[in-house]
Structure 1
Amino acid sequence: MKQSPYLQTALTAARAAEDVIRRYWEEGVEVRLKADASPVTEADVAAEQAIREVILSAFPEHGFYGEETGRTREEAEFTWLIDPIDGTKSFIRRTPFFSTQIALMQAGRLLLGVSNAPLYGEMAWAERGGGAWLNGREIRCGEVTELADAAISLGNIKTLAQGAGWAGLGRIVAQVNRTRGYGDFCHYHMLAAGQLDLVVESDLNVLDVAALSVIVEEAGGVFTALDGSPIDLEIGSVLAAGTPALHTRALETLRG
């Protein structure tokens, strides 16, 4: 596929971050807690800096919203959304379920996404109108339309367990064919590749899923918040499905 300068830059930035992450993976890191009690390492900070240098060297007029450095140029038409290591806890515990997330938003609309999981061995990307790709191979969501035939993956369901959403999730789990909990980038890659049919997740922010939403949608899927609203900067939950029909059925079941 032909890649825009934006996507080329995003892929270059993801590879620059991968070099940093692999170095720290070998050397080890010190861990500290942020104000919200979530962990952060030198690898997170250094990887974000590597991404920032690549992107802003190419597009100095663009805004930048990074997990570790916050927002700049909020008035800019284009804003890059970055999570240098989504899954820091996995990185710390030396499991491969972490990734670098890079997305580009123009005036509130997401244009592209890159999701690179170097220790897992997968890089996925997508650009509006260009399809979704995984390790250089074009991918598509599956064709399941009924809950009874669907494989679902759940992630970060703590807030659902604490509130009214738990009952709705229970109704879905009682109907689907198979339930797993792959989590993080992994279940979205699998959804886009047709290996899963439905993902439900809570306790997240836009930097975790902006890139993944473009990948799933370009693979033919539907990606919204749990209430069916479109993704925006305030998103905190996800209902993603491989087909519009399955998304509709899951949303109706959640609502009871």
Structure 2
Amino acid sequence: MSTSQYLETALAAARAAEVVIRRYWEQGVNVTLKADASPVTQADVEAEQAIRKVILGRFPEHGFYGEETGTTRADAEFIWLIDPIDGTKSFIRRTPFFSTQIALLHRGKLIVGVSNAPMYGELAWAERGQGAYVNERRVQVGGIEALADAAISLGNIKTLAGTPGWAALGEIVGSVNRTRGYGDFCHYHMLAAGQLDLVIESDLNILDVAALSVIVEEAGGTFTQLDGAPIDLATTSVLAAGSAVLHAEVLGRLGS
């Protein structure tokens, strides 16, 4: 297992954030609302500060795009994409379905991804060409190709309701072997490990899934937006599958 300087830095930053998160998990934290009415806590802010300190301490020339502290050096060759607590609502309600997401973008291509879910007990990571790992075990997608054999997990599908895609999604759900809604980091970890075959999700942004896309793809999966377009900084939806064949079938059923 080869660990580059960038992956090692991402892992160190995730561990620094975990120290902050565990402290607030034990002592509790006050909640405030952002302008978009989404919640934020002091744990979010301090965890991102801890991540920023590790990353920019080693690579001060790199760009940084953080959920809580914004963007610096947006024109840099390397840009770090950070969500210190993806799943703040879960964190607030003391359920373990939240994680720290750290990804590295190099000239428009995501090359490193770390997803740490400390209270769930999983640390996943990947870098291009080196495979994907969950808790130091190399993982691989299941490779299921037939929709009838597939297990699907859905997340944040509210925006699909009332659109033409809603009917298509209903047909897909009616065709699979098993349907669940694990959400957040969890169903992407499971997809990478071959425990799920398909993830459909909307109402998200690139900071939620940048790292996870690297992990799923390095595990052998296919990861795009719902319309089949590549993941980019404007991403708001995901269609991820454990095989290219399954991905193509679902994409065709969803249409536009």
Q: Which bin holds the TM-score, normalised by the shorter protein? A: over 0.9
Q: Structure 1: how far apart are the matches of 2:108 and 2:170?
A: 33
Secondary structure at the aligned position of 1:119 is classed as coil
4+ runs deviating over 6 angstroms? none
Corresponding residue SS for 2:24: helix
Matched, 1:132 2:126: no
Alpha-carbon offset, residue 47 of structure 1:
0.2
**AA at the equivalent of 1:78:** F
Q: Distance in 1 between matches of 2:149 and 2:85?
A: 34
Task: Indicate the residue corresponding to 2:153 in structure 1.
Answer: 153
- Structure 1 residue 171: Cα displacement: 1.5
Question: Secondary structure at 1:35's aligned position in 2?
Answer: coil
Render the CA deviation track for 1:36-66: whole Å, top value 9, x for unaligned: 0000000000000000000000000000000
2:24 matches 1:24: yes
Letter in 2 for 1:60: P
Q: Secondary structure at the match of 1:229?
A: coil
| 1:164 positional shift | 2.3
Counterpart of 1:223? 223
Q: TM-score with structure 2 length normalisation? A: 0.99
- Determine the C-alpha separation between the residues in 2 that align with 1:70 and 1:113: 19
Measured after TM superposition, the shift of residue 255 of structure 1 is: 1.3
Equivalent AA in structure 2 for residue 101 of structure 1 = Q
Instruction: Give the length in aligned residue pairs.
Output: 256
Matched-pair identity in %: 75
Q: Which residue of 2 aligns with 1:122?
A: 122
Q: 1:173-223: CA deviations, max 9, x gaps? A: 011111000000000000000000000000000000000000000000000
Instruction: State the match for 1:208 in structure 2.
Output: 208
Alignment-mate amino acid for residue 173 of structure 2: V
Which letter does structure 2 place at the counterpart of 1:247? H
Report the AA paired with residue 129 of structure 1: G
Structure 2: 5+ residue runs without aligned partners?
none
Q: Which runs of 5+ in 1 are unaligned?
A: none
Amino acid at match of 1:157: I
Residues 1:103 and 2:103 aligned together: yes
- 1:164 paired residue number: 164
Q: Which residue of 2 aligns with 1:198?
A: 198
TM-score, with length taken from structure 1: 0.99
Match of 2:33 in 1: 33
Q: Distance in 2 between matches of 1:5 and 1:27?
A: 34
